[in-house]
Amino acid sequence: MIDYFLLDVFTDRAFAGNPLAVFPEARGLDTGMMQAIANELNLSETVFVGEATGQHRYPIRIFTPTRELPFAGHPVIGTAHLLVERGMAERGCPLVLEAGVGPLVVEFDQALARLTTAEPVSILASTLTQATAAELLGLEAHQVLSEPVLASCGLPYHLIELASYEALERAQPAPGAWADWVSPSGQDQIYLHFACEAIDATQVVRARMFSTPGGVREDPATGSAAAALAGHLAQTKGVGRWRWQIEQGIEMGRPSRIHAEAERTEDDLSIRIAGAAVIVGGGTLHLPGGLAVSREAP
């Protein structure tokens, strides 16, 4: 038997944000079992935490129902909150989560956990153009403001800038156009964004994320996409610190709030993603005998 916890991430209330399952003591589970468990729970991501490799330092593995991910934002934020709640980490000390993309440093600021990305942002050309992005989303050409780009801080997304909230709300990816214009890139994730207002020094952005396989699906809060977007937006700015409040999941009835920050110097660009999380439940899985334990650790 193995215990797990359910959290809602990038929200401060239950039944909003992005659901997550975390197994805080997953030592001994092999890759096949982790993938089978993630498929059984059928959440966007499930996290398996291995044995501590140092003080406030843990290896983690992140799985969707169909594959393992090197990096994802809401699993890291949610896992950090859970480890503090269970006394496996301290709110006043940095926490290091060793993911596939590399070590991720998480710090705590009151109710928020804040991660610093392990990889710098990379910006490449997208297989989408303004015209094909509009076709993909069922919009008019003028509703896509700029040429899409493929941006990544460990997990790539096609970033599509829209002209209005109405365009964002109406956008609905067409599977045929997706197969023609997105899948050839090998990166089946798109992130739609619209900058709607500024509050003090923070730009408020509305966003939606869609991905495949298994049919086009929407995600209520996507920290890795928010990191890619912050990195892309910071590339257009000079030296300084820039902040965004990204509102996602509203169209799904699961409102989420992601705090993104980019700090740019003459030589470097660091990107941080922060959010709250709440524990909403948990349970115990009864694993098949002889299949759960191997020499492979998370």
**Same domain, residue pair 106 and 126:** no
**Same domain, residue pair 130 and 66:** no
pLDDT reported for residue 215: 85
Distance CA 213, CA 175 (A): 10
296 within some domain = no
Amino acid identity, position 184: P
290 within some domain = no
11 within some domain = yes
Who's near 161: CB < 8 A, 6+ residues apart?
A: 144, 145, 146, 148, 193, 194
**Same domain, residue pair 103 and 130:** no
pLDDT(145) > 90? yes
175 within some domain = yes
Distance CA 29, CA 237 (A): 45
**Same domain, residue pair 89 and 142:** no
**Same domain, residue pair 66 and 20:** yes
Give residue 240's pLDDT band: very low, low, confident or very high (50, 70, 90).
very high
295 within some domain = no
- Residues 153-200 have pLDDT tens digits of 999 999 999 999 999 999 999 999 999 999 999 999 999 999 998 988
22 within some domain = yes
pLDDT reported for residue 171: 98
Cβ neighbourhood burial of 159 (10 Å; 0-12, 13-18, 19+): buried
**Same domain, residue pair 46 and 186:** no
pLDDT(2) > 50? yes
- Residues 47-80 have pLDDT tens digits of 999 999 999 999 999 999 999 999 999 999 999 9
Q: One of 45, 135, 161, 261 is an active-site residue; which one?
A: 45
pLDDT reported for residue 294: 41
Dihedral sign, CA of 88, 91, 92, 95?
A: positive
**Same domain, residue pair 48 and 141:** no
Name the DSSP letter for residue 144. B
**Same domain, residue pair 132 and 241:** yes
pLDDT(204) > 70? yes
Residue-range definition of the domain harbouring residue 14 = 2-111+278-285
**Same domain, residue pair 145 and 243:** yes
Instruction: Give how far Cα 252 sits from Cα of 11, 208, 221, 245, Å.
Output: 14, 10, 10, 18
CATH number at residue 253: 3.10.310.10
pLDDT(4) > 90? yes
**Same domain, residue pair 63 and 39:** yes
| Mean per-residue pLDDT of the chain | 95
220 within some domain = yes
**Same domain, residue pair 268 and 199:** yes
Task: Express the helix, strand and coil content of the chain in percent, nearest 5 each.
Answer: 20, 40, 35
The rounded radius of gyration (Å) of the Cα atoms in the chain is: 19
CA atoms within 13 A on the CB side of 33: 23
pLDDT reported for residue 289: 73
pLDDT reported for residue 98: 98
- Residues 264-280 have pLDDT tens digits of 998 899 999 999 999 99
CA atoms within 13 A on the CB side of 19: 18
Strands 18-23 and 46-49 come out as: parallel
- Residues 218-233 have pLDDT tens digits of 999 999 999 999 999 9
**Same domain, residue pair 103 and 126:** no
100 within some domain = yes
Q: How many domains is the chain built from?
A: 2
Q: Is 218 a catalytic residue?
A: no
What DSSP element (H or E) covers 275? strand 269-275
- Residues 118-136 have pLDDT tens digits of 999 999 999 999 999 999 9
Who's near 70: CB < 8 A, 6+ residues apart?
A: 62, 99, 100, 101, 154, 155
